[in-house]
Homo-oligomer: A and B are copies of this chain.
Amino acid sequence: MPVSPITLFFDFSSPYSYLASTQIEALAARHDRGIEWVPVLLGPVFAATGSRPLTQQPLKAEYSLRDLARSARFLGVPYHHPQPFPVATQQAARVLVALQRAQSPLAVPWTHKVFEDYFVHGRDISQMPVLHAIGASLRLDAAQIDAWCADAAVKDQLRAHVERALRAGMCGAPFFVVDDEPFWGVDRLPQLERWLQARF
C-alpha cells in the first residue's frame, strides 16, 4: 500500500513556515515519505481564528522576534527578520501553484528560493521584480511568471488550497497533516517524527 505524503500548508510570509521548510525534507526522507507543499494565504486563516500576526500582538510581538532568532539558531539555519513584515504573498504562491500544475521540477526550488529571498536576504517578495529575479535564477521567464500570476485557473487553485486548509483545521502556519493527524508549528516536528515512527 503506498504511503501518503506529509502535507505542509504554509504562507511564504510565515517565519515559522520558513524554518519548517529547512527541516521537513530531511525528516520526510528519514521515513520514506513524500511532501505535498500547499501554499495558502494566512489572511483568511487569521480571519477564521480571530487572530493576527504575532508581531502585531502586544507582548507577543517582542517575544516572537526573540523566539524566531533563537529558533533559527537552534535549528542551525540563517534568519534575518525582514522589513516590511508581513508582506502579500499571493503572487509568489500563484507561481508555485502554476509550477505544481505543470509538474515542474522547479516547484520545490522556487519554494526554497522565495523563503530565502525574504527571510535570509530581506528582499520584499511581494514585488514582481523580486519574483522575476528569483525566476531568472531558475531560468523562468518574467513574462511567464506574469502570465501565471494573472491566470484565473491558478488563482482559483490557490483559493481552493485555502479552503482545503481551513477544512483540515489549519489554525496557524506551518500546518502539517500526516495520515489525518494535524501538527501546528515547526516546534511540533519532533512529535510529527514520533508519529511517523510509532503512531504514538
Contact = CB atoms under 8 A, between A and B. Distances in A.
Interface of A: 45, 48-51, 57-60, 62-63, 66-67, 70-71, 73-74, 166, 169-172, 181-182, 184-185, 187-188, 190-191, 194, 200
B63 A58 contact: no
Number of copies: 2
Query: Which among A70, A170, A182, A190 has the greatest number of chain B C-beta atoms within 10 A?
Result: A70
Contacts of A190: 74, 190
Contacts of A171: 57-60, 63
B74 A191 contact: yes
Contacts of A57: 49-51, 171
Contacts of A74: 190-191, 194, 200
8 contacts: A45-B59, A49-B57, A49-B60, A50-B57, A51-B60, A57-B171, A63-B169, A70-B200
Contacts of A169: 59, 62-63
B71 A170 contact: no
A129 to B, nearest CB: 36
Given A187-B187, A191-B71, A58 B48 contact: yes
Contacts of A50: 57-58
Contacts of A191: 70-71, 74
B184 A67 contact: yes
Nearest to A56: B50
Contacts of A62: 169
B170 A59 contact: yes
Contacts of A170: 59
Nearest to A166: B59
A169 to B, nearest CB: 6
